Structure 1
Amino acid sequence: MATTTASMTEQLSDAVRWQARAEAYTIQTMLGCRDVEMARTALIESPLRRKIERSAIALTIGEATGMSESQIQLRLSIADRVREKTPQVWDAFIEGLIDFSRVRDISATIEKLHRPESIARLDNRVIAYATEHTGAELQQWLRRFVQRVEADLATERADAERANRHVSVTHGDDSMSWLNAYLPSHQAAAIEARLRKEARKAADPDDDRAVAQREADLLVAWCTSSEATTSAIDANIAVTVGADVLAGAAPGFAESTDGGWAVPAPWLADVIATGSTFWHRIVVDPVTDDVLSHEYVGRFAPDSLALALRFLHGVCQAPGCRVPSERCDLDHRIPHPVGPTNGDNMGPLCRRHHNLKGHGLLHWSTSPPKPPPAEPMVIELYPPVPPIAMEYVAA
């Protein structure tokens, strides 16, 4: 990178940090105003007058900042919660290491945690991640954190929320309406995958519909025609789940490979137990049967490796990019033929970031895959694939 460009990026980093510090200073000033007013009104003898004046504190701060009372109250409650329960997060905010949007997401996570030791663990770990990743990545990390450290309580919440599944129709203008469905995530993901695949199949030359229009028409056909629903769901979705969770030894979640959603593992077990034709289980033993440990001579990954890499990473590996891996190219970190065609040297990059890397404008900045856990990783797939006996012979 040119020296001038490096200097500009350093200036941008400094600007972002100063902006975060400015946000922290604003929040601190709001807290100071609130505390001063609370102390002043505490001296008012009349309880009614004291209550009235205190109710106007947020309004007074809002008038000075151009915000509504509800916005002020929300910021103050977030600040109080983070300052009291996660002091390391609060200090990082004051120093400009994280901005208020990240503080807000961390505060929402604190509300979901019920055990003091879980909150303390969050305080100790979240800053290292939040300072090195995008806001969207932090939100997914926080969701996974809750599901892992308090899996039992998170599972109870998911089971309770599942009872609220419903479909609603809202009629709008211009003869159009919204069809909304609040569904368990794994079911919604199956519907989404099927729509994407079916709508992108080769169409009749006279069919001038856009892909989005085809998806809408397919959904209507599936919902209104009995003939349209007879075909098996042809999707390709994977979730990962710990072996102890799968065995029922511990509560936990099955998570999509792109990190976009997760459901309690028993939900998937229930679906598999019905004999549905589009679920299948592949158990990957990281010690003896891990295909990622094999190296291939050719440039292009064989199907087994390509599928495993896409399920392993889930999304494009450029920092902050969320393009699903099935729509990405498989790129060599160290270019072929110097770099091997194996799991450690390959990963998905969307076409845009792949081109940028090819022109020397993007460098691999993500860490190599972490060593596999001690227990096997379980991947849930649909549709089912027949067992394949594979043997790799060294040249």
Structure 2
Amino acid sequence: MPNASRLAHDLRRATRERARAEAAEWVATVAFRDGAMKRLSPDVTPLRRLTEQSAIPLQIAAETGQSEGQVVNRLACADRAIEHLPQVWGAFGKGDVDAAQVQAISLAVGKLERDDSRQRLDDEALAYARTHTLAELRRWLKRFIARVEADLFAERAEAERAKRHVHIEHLDDGMALLQAYLPSHHAAAIGARLERLAKQPATDDEGQPDRRTRVQRQADLLTHLLTSASADHVPGTPGLRCDIAVTIDAAVLTGAVVGQASAADGSWHVPATWILDSALVGEAFWHRLLVDPITDNTLAHDYRGYSPPDVLRRAVQFRDQVCVTPGCLVPADRCELDHDIPWPAGHTHGTNLRCRCKRHHNIKGHGVVPHLVDPPPPSFHGFAMDFAFAS
């Protein structure tokens, strides 16, 4: 019977072969397009030539079983990678990265406008993609775009904010779809408020426990908040404020440079001016969360009990941002606090606490994946601000 190392080797080889096959399909798709373009007759009207060109993706779609839109998207991604990402494109051919990763990086390079920024992406993205999941890569690319061309990011964000809107589409069976195109920090605040309210104990009109699911309660709460005359407070629940944590570099905060504010878990970014403007209109309040190793650092406090106090829990959540298990992106505020060295041998202390989602906490506790027991030491660098919309 094959041993585990041999099976792991076979799995890695199969993964590389799949990526190489994807690369070969992309190369063949581009070659088909280029060959068809060369065969176009030069002695036709411009309208006829344009029609023949537009039919090429349809021909490819018929050969590959894809939709025409998928073919157009693939060709655009391949063209950007060939022109601006030679290292990524070469690694794709070797099977070092797969089609989904190349597509994500190619879409990111399409957002960049400066040659040096594109070169930097080609230099840095490949190393990150090789050692991280696709979801992690996409978040890293968002951060990269917001950081490397901060001034252009702010311009694009302002242009997109001008397009904010709400759309209602009525569907079958008495249901409708409510969509809102909003700035990310506003959407995050709305999501946080619905999440908090949905967790509050509730009963039905007859005093029986609420049997609705969490997502059903969130949908009902959204309706109530948008339609009730007393939208500031939901009957039967305590008053709440909904916090969203953001990070802003100190230099950006002082106005020395242009930059962005980022969600604690890196899932979204907005121009820092948006957050600062919100802080000046009386709808929010700020406080500084000290997480560096300085005097009175909440992470440095040692507590005798098993459960950490709220101030330590909040600091650890802000530090870790998501579940610390590699590849897991469950937000820290939905995770459990895990003692690296089990309590009581391990103290309730910032250096001995990590955020882990319930599933990975259980896996680590049972010793199923040994490396979860000994992760790298926790660290945090930077200036952290906690931004809160108060209800």
Shared fold per TM-score greater than 0.5: yes
Q: Pick closer, same or farther for the CA change 1:119–1:344 going to 2, 3 Å.
A: farther
Aligned partner of 1:381 in structure 2 is: 387
Aligned partner of 1:272 in structure 2 is: 279
Measure the CA separation in 1 of the matches of 2:343 and 2:106.
45
* 259, 262, 265: which one aligns with 2:269: 262
Give 3-state SS (helix, strand or coil) of 2:355's partner: strand
Once the two structures are superposed, the pairs formed by residues 223-238 of structure 1 within 5 Å of their partners are 223-229=226-232, 233-238=240-245
Residue ranges of structure 2 left out of the alignment (5+ in a row): none
TM-score by structure 1 length?
0.86
Q: Pick closer, same or farther for the CA change 1:282–1:175 going to 2, 3 Å.
A: same
Q: In the comparison of the two structures, how many residue pairs are matched?
A: 377
Aligned partner of 1:387 in structure 2 is: none
In the TM superposition, residue 367 of structure 1 has moved relative to its aligned partner by 4.4
Q: Pick closer, same or farther for the CA change 1:8–1:63 going to 2, 3 Å.
A: same
Deviations 1:63-108 (CA, angstroms, capped at 9, x unpaired): 3222344332322221121011111101111111111111111111
Deviations 1:126-164 (CA, angstroms, capped at 9, x unpaired): 011111111111111001000000011001111111111
Q: Pick closer, same or farther for the CA change 1:315–1:3 going to 2, 3 Å.
A: farther
In the TM superposition, residue 50 of structure 1 has moved relative to its aligned partner by 6.5
Conserved 8 A contact 1:58-1:69? yes
Which letter does structure 2 place at the counterpart of 1:181?
A
Aligned partner of 1:22 in structure 2 is: 21
Root-mean-square deviation over aligned CA pairs: 2.6
Q: Pick closer, same or farther for the CA change 1:33–1:283 going to 2, 3 Å.
A: same
In the TM superposition, residue 335 of structure 1 has moved relative to its aligned partner by 4.0
Q: Pick closer, same or farther for the CA change 1:14–1:367 going to 2, 3 Å.
A: farther
Measure the CA separation in 1 of the matches of 2:341 and 2:294.
26
Aligned partner of 1:240 in structure 2 is: 247
Residue ranges of structure 1 left out of the alignment (5+ in a row): 385-395
* 207, 211, 236: which one aligns with 1:208: 211
Measure the CA separation in 2 of the matches of 1:352 and 1:136.
18
In the TM superposition, residue 286 of structure 1 has moved relative to its aligned partner by 2.6
* 308, 315, 330: which one aligns with 1:308: 315
Aligned partner of 1:185 in structure 2 is: 184
Measure the CA separation in 2 of the matches of 1:213 and 1:68.
35
Aligned partner of 2:220 in structure 1 is: 217
Measure the CA separation in 2 of the matches of 1:381 and 1:104.
34
Q: Pick closer, same or farther for the CA change 1:108–1:281 going to 2, 3 Å.
A: same
Once the two structures are superposed, the pairs formed by residues 342-357 of structure 1 within 5 Å of their partners are 342-357=349-364
Measure the CA separation in 2 of the matches of 1:212 and 1:58.
41
Aligned partner of 1:284 in structure 2 is: 290
TM-score by structure 2 length?
0.87
Aligned partner of 1:389 in structure 2 is: none
Aligned partner of 1:358 in structure 2 is: 365
Measure the CA separation in 2 of the matches of 1:173 and 1:9.
48
Aligned partner of 1:320 in structure 2 is: 327
Deviations 1:139-190 (CA, angstroms, capped at 9, x unpaired): 1100100000001100111111111111222222222222222221111111
Q: Pick closer, same or farther for the CA change 1:328–1:22 going to 2, 3 Å.
A: same
Measure the CA separation in 2 of the matches of 1:132 and 1:221.
45
Conserved 8 A contact 2:30-2:75? yes
In the TM superposition, residue 55 of structure 1 has moved relative to its aligned partner by 4.8
Give 3-state SS (helix, strand or coil) of 1:235's partner: strand
Q: Pick closer, same or farther for the CA change 1:285–1:354 going to 2, 3 Å.
A: closer
Measure the CA separation in 2 of the matches of 1:4 and 1:35.
47
Q: Pick closer, same or farther for the CA change 1:228–1:299 going to 2, 3 Å.
A: same
Conserved 8 A contact 1:62-1:72? yes
Conserved 8 A contact 1:315-1:324? yes
Q: Pick closer, same or farther for the CA change 1:69–1:176 going to 2, 3 Å.
A: closer
In the TM superposition, residue 285 of structure 1 has moved relative to its aligned partner by 6.7
Conserved 8 A contact 1:118-1:149? yes
Which letter does structure 2 place at the counterpart of 1:358?
G
In the TM superposition, residue 382 of structure 1 has moved relative to its aligned partner by 2.3
Once the two structures are superposed, the pairs formed by residues 6-155 of structure 1 within 5 Å of their partners are 6-41=5-40, 44=41, 46-48=43-45, 54-155=53-154
Give 3-state SS (helix, strand or coil) of 2:241's partner: coil
The alignment status of 1:253 with 2:253, answered yes or no, reads: no
* 369, 372, 376: which one aligns with 2:381: 372
Conserved 8 A contact 1:233-1:383? no
Measure the CA separation in 2 of the matches of 1:221 and 1:61.
50
Q: Pick closer, same or farther for the CA change 1:210–1:118 going to 2, 3 Å.
A: same
The alignment status of 1:196 with 2:195, answered yes or no, reads: yes
Measure the CA separation in 2 of the matches of 1:299 and 1:183.
41
Give 3-state SS (helix, strand or coil) of 1:284's partner: coil
